[in-house]
Amino acid sequence: MTKNDWEQWVQYIAEQYDLDLNKKQTAKQKQILEAAIHIFSEKGYSGATTSEIAKKAQVAEATIFKHYHSKKGLLLRLVLPAISKVVAPFVLKPLFAILEEEKPAEKIVEDLIKDRVELIEKNQKLIRVILVESLYHPELKEALVNHVLKANAPEVAKRVQRLKEQGIIRADLPDYVVISGLISTVLAYLISTNLFAFMGTESDEQKIKYFADLFINGIVPRSTDLRPAEREERRES
Amino acid sequence: MTKNDWEQWVQYIAEQYDLDLNKKQTAKQKQILEAAIHIFSEKGYSGATTSEIAKKAQVAEATIFKHYHSKKGLLLRLVLPAISKVVAPFVLKPLFAILEEEKPAEKIVEDLIKDRVELIEKNQKLIRVILVESLYHPELKEALVNHVLKANAPEVAKRVQRLKEQGIIRADLPDYVVISGLISTVLAYLISTNLFAFMGTESDEQKIKYFADLFINGIVPRSTDLRPAEREERRES
Amino acid sequence: MTKNDWEQWVQYIAEQYDLDLNKKQTAKQKQILEAAIHIFSEKGYSGATTSEIAKKAQVAEATIFKHYHSKKGLLLRLVLPAISKVVAPFVLKPLFAILEEEKPAEKIVEDLIKDRVELIEKNQKLIRVILVESLYHPELKEALVNHVLKANAPEVAKRVQRLKEQGIIRADLPDYVVISGLISTVLAYLISTNLFAFMGTESDEQKIKYFADLFINGIVPRSTDLRPAEREERRES
Amino acid sequence: MTKNDWEQWVQYIAEQYDLDLNKKQTAKQKQILEAAIHIFSEKGYSGATTSEIAKKAQVAEATIFKHYHSKKGLLLRLVLPAISKVVAPFVLKPLFAILEEEKPAEKIVEDLIKDRVELIEKNQKLIRVILVESLYHPELKEALVNHVLKANAPEVAKRVQRLKEQGIIRADLPDYVVISGLISTVLAYLISTNLFAFMGTESDEQKIKYFADLFINGIVPRSTDLRPAEREERRES
DNA sequence: GATGAATGAGAGTTCATTCAT
DNA sequence: TATGAATGAACTCTCATTCAT
């Protein structure tokens, strides 16, 4: 089973770094982890120093090493559970839930974007660390690609299939195009709020609606007789 | 003027790091720059060491410092001209050219994606370095946001306006949504080829067509009486 | 008196390290001492770590410090009683006993070697620790030279005198030559079994006889009329 | 061939520690090596610190690591050439030379002891380091036992054979007993001068004579008609 | 009596940088 | 111009030791 695969793999990596991912974290350890997220996301793993993390966490440097054995151990102790707990179940379950619901395409996509954006914004620092560091640490890249993406893609593809069959989305695009398109729509929103903040002044709510609309209806004008409401009717008939 | 703004700013930064961005690079210097791109992109700026770069470039470590004065100087000597020369003219000019041409939306978007993808693939390492390091070096982030994006956005927006007026693209979406959407369509393609490589087996050419199609027409089914060909007619009328 | 000297000195050192050398050792403490002997002998005092000793002894690191107060305290708690109990009485008494007995030189020397070799082999690790660490810890060196050697030398010298007077050993060699020669004969045996193991295949018993013979009769051939048996007669006449 | 064996082995170890044993040492490097010998012999390898060595050598700590890469590299850079150059040729050649000469046993043994003692005293610190550290570093132990002892033992044994055939030494003792005995005679001298210094007041010259005499003639009295001079005659007849 | 958690001090090692040649 | 040698500062990590429980 997929889940066991992932768990075994995490276990294996954790053992290599002598980490116990299940052990309850004491108050001080939580301070360390928080400080580490903060500083890793600000300076990158290599740019961060354990002494800085220790200072921010208000513990002695040695305490970090007592608990996590090495700087890399600390990184993994941050990132692996985040991938496990955040990316895997917490991430995918709501996604599936949303895809399951019976509602118009617009609403589905809007909900998806909103949901993902919230998730990203709540875990911004961690996600930045995971994405950037997976460029430099092959184990992390493997974790993401093989154990998260590959493992969950079939399940997602299944939902996409259903939507296609229901006529909610186009059947002539391959699954991966749909999925990549959805992901990139989330990215589009993030790009617009981060890089083009100087251009748009609408509420975030409204922005999300725009990007959902773009993803749903495309960039070219539609004939007026096919506004969303009508499609809705069509689908139901 | 925009361009002068940028150039002055680059000049200012270059001076701070005692760099002459115009001086012709000798063979050895080119070896150093190439080695640096390679290693910076593989390990990140902080994770790279000058000694490793020197070894790869087959020069003495001191040689690097003779030419670029500091590690950061080396980074900037790589990154600033890249932004100047690659991002600014080479990047934007073909983009403008494509947007200028009189051809159907599909073709325009396809050409845009193809053009950008080529650009990205040819300069992969450099782009990775620029993007990642701009997270950690405020000057770089400023360079990108203020001096590249902000400076060029109006020009791009102007073309978008024209396309809207011509009825080629929808007029009801704000410019920044269109632009972000376009960028993210390029990203969608890159995501699909890099992360979901295991799913799609089509040719790259075909993949690009799919993403262009998605961007153009959206994810929901269109009524059959509005297939691209027809829209084409409509627009012409 | 000699013995008191030594005891006072040990007492003084023990106090400095806050050790009670007489207190009965609990099971855990014995585990610690055994683990310490093992690891000190394998890695040397400086190379050993308290955490390693604790792990091998299956106690918490803090427990070691509860009992012995410091790493050096642990070393001394091992080494001082060993010198006291092993080196001093247990070592010298049988030696004196052997020297006291009325038997031919061969037998005396053989018995001496056998006795010492057994002692060394049984206490190998401890002896290694004592010898090596006395190179680096002046108190230990002092203990050995002043309180063991100097203190017991006169007594040994007295026995040597007697043997000389009895004509059992040559009278023309100074006492210290005889004593050093005897010690080095034991060493010769140890060297041969440890370093030249690949050369000799005889039984240990036989090897000891050879070294005793060498020590007794020397390396050059004796005239046949003076084989051991005859000397025996001579001496008795 | 023996010699190549050793050289290959040294080469292999040196490579593992990234050492170039042939490179000429600069003045600073010689200072470092000398300081290292001194401090390693005083405190043992583990007890010595690189910072202390650097201070004594009057160089920056980093300089040590530039040249020897690690503390262990420094140890090996000291010890391997010492074994190669000192132990192997310089040690064995004079030994062979002495064994080759045509002179009475007494003179041979005296010369051997004198020669070895000089060698040991001149290289005291280095020898102490080699012997003690070979207890803790398996590579060093292997170097000594397999590559020095085993490799040279046959050659030494050959000379011993010759001496036996010439009637200079007893034929009834195995070679390894003779060799171990000879080594331990040197040790006997060293023990007497180091540990029993308080007993003997003779000149070193005289002490050596005593130990040579003990080794040659043994500890029991000889019949007067077999004093050395006579044996000499005997042998010649 | 025993221990888990914590730590100050310092160890070995790396790194960007300088300088004489 | 190019470099080998050298280094101060900082970094990761270890160690003996303490203390609250």
CATH code for the domain of B196: 1.10.357.10
Q: Give the phi and the psi of residue C107 in degrees, each rounded to 5.
A: -60, -45
pLDDT at B224 over 70: no
Let me know: does C130 contact C149? Beta carbons within 8 Å. Answer: no
Q: What is the pLDDT along chain D (237 residues), one digit of tens a residue?
A: 456 678 888 889 999 999 988 888 888 899 999 999 999 999 999 999 999 999 999 999 999 999 999 999 999 999 998 887 766 655 666 667 777 777 777 888 888 888 888 888 888 899 899 999 999 999 999 888 888 888 888 888 888 898 888 888 899 999 999 988 988 998 898 888 888 888 878 888 899 899 999 998 888 876 544 444 444 444 444
Say if CB A19 and CB A76 are below 8 A apart: yes
Nearest residue: Cα versus C1' of F9:
D62
Q: Which residues, other chains included, contact D32 with Cβ-Cβ below 8 Å and sequence gap of 6+? A: D53, D54, D57, D59, D63, D64, D67, D68, D74
Q: Which helix (H) or strand (E) holds D138?
A: helix D138-142
Point out the least confidently predicted range of A56-60, A231-235, B161-165, D89-93. Answer: A231-235
How far is CA C153 from each of CA A153, B2, B50, B110, B114, rounded to the nearest angstrom?
85, 98, 65, 101, 96
pLDDT of residue D87: 64
pLDDT band at C117 (very low <50, low <70, confident <90, very high): confident
Closest CA to D119 of D99, D95, D146, D103: D95
Q: Which of A100-109, C98-107, C132-141, D44-53 has the highest mean pLDDT?
A: D44-53
A177-229 pLDDT, tens digit each:
998 998 889 889 888 888 888 888 889 889 989 998 999 888 887 654 444 44
Cβ contact D36:D74 at 8 Å: yes
Using a CB-CB cut-off of 8 Å, the residues of chain D touching C207 are: 177
The count of domains in chain D is 1
Higher pLDDT residue, A2 or D188?
A: D188
Round to the nearest angstrom and report the end-to-end CA distance of chain C. Answer: 40
Q: Does chain D reach chain A with at least 3 CB pairs under 8 Å?
A: no
Distance CA A166, CA A155 (A): 17
Using CB atoms, pick whichever of D135, D177, D183 lies closest to residue C211: D177
Residue pair D194/D121 in contact (Cβ under 8 Å)? The answer is no
B181 near A199, Cβ under 8 Å? no
* Shortest CA distance from A217: residue in chain B: B218
D102: which 2 tokens?
Answer: 């045509």
Contact D207, D193 (CB under 8 A): yes
Q: Which two tokens stand for residue A107?
A: 């609403």
Q: pLDDT at position B234, please?
A: 45
Q: Amino acid letter at C40?
A: F
Instruction: Find which of A214, A226, A235 to mutate to test the B interface (most B CBs within 10 Å of its CB).
Output: A214
Mutation for testing the D interface, residue in C204, C214, C236 having most D CBs under 10 Å? C214
* C-alpha pair distances (Å), A171 with each of A104, A164, A165, B228: 16, 5, 7, 17
Contact D173, C213 (CB under 8 A): yes
Main-chain dihedrals φ then ψ at residue B94, nearest 5 degrees: -60, -35
> Per-residue pLDDT tens for D92-140?
666 677 777 777 778 888 888 888 888 888 888 998 999 999 999 999 9
- Full domain range(s) for residue A161: 2-236
With a 7 Å cutoff on the CB, does B62 touch strand F? yes
Of the candidates D180, D92, D93, D80, which has an alpha carbon nearest to the alpha carbon of residue D130?
D80
Contacts of residue A123, defined as CB under 8 A and 6 or more positions apart, other chains included, come to A82, A86
Helix (H) or strand (E) holding A59: none
Mean pLDDT, range C96-105, rounded to an integer: 74
Could you please report the per-residue DSSP string of A5-29? HHHHHHHHHHHHTT--SSSPPPHHH
Residue A20 CA to residue B179 CA, distance in Å, equals 46
Q: With a 7 Å cutoff on the CB, does B35 touch strand E?
A: no
> Alpha carbon of A85 to those of A6, A96, A104, A179: distances in Å?
12, 16, 30, 22
Residue A190 to residue A182: CA distance in whole angstroms: 13
Q: Report how far residue A126's alpha carbon sits from residue A91's, in angstroms, rounded to the nearest whole number.
A: 14
**What pLDDT does residue A234 have?**
45
- pLDDT band per the 50, 70, 90 thresholds, residue C233: very low
Q: What per-residue confidence (pLDDT) applies to C20? A: 87
Residue A66 has pLDDT above 80, yes or no: yes
Q: How many CB atoms neighbour CB B237 within 10 A?
A: 6
**In terms of pLDDT, which residue wins out, A217 or A1?**
A217
| pLDDT category of residue C44 using cuts at 50, 70 and 90 | very high
C1 pLDDT tier (thresholds 50, 70, 90): very low
Please give the full DSSP string across D151-172, using - where no structure is assigned: HHHHHHHHHHHHHHHTTSS-SS
Q: Is the pLDDT of residue C230 over 50?
A: no
Give the residue from A102, A144, A113 showing the smallest Cα distance to A232.
A102
Return the closest-CA partner of residue A182 out of A108, A89, A94.
Answer: A108
- The H helix count followed by the E strand count for chain D is 13, 0
- Could you report the per-residue pLDDT of A152-189, keeping only the tens digit for each? 888 888 888 988 888 888 999 999 999 899 888 988 98
Chain C window 59-98, residues with Cβ within 7 A of nucleic strand F = 61-62, 64-65, 69-72
Query: B207 Cβ partners below 8 Å, 6+ apart?
Result: A177, B189, B192, B193, B200
**pLDDT for B16-46, tens place per residue?**
898 888 888 888 899 999 999 999 999 999 9
Give how far B24 is from chain A: nearest CA, Å: 32
Residue B77: enclosing H or E segment and its boundaries? helix B71-81
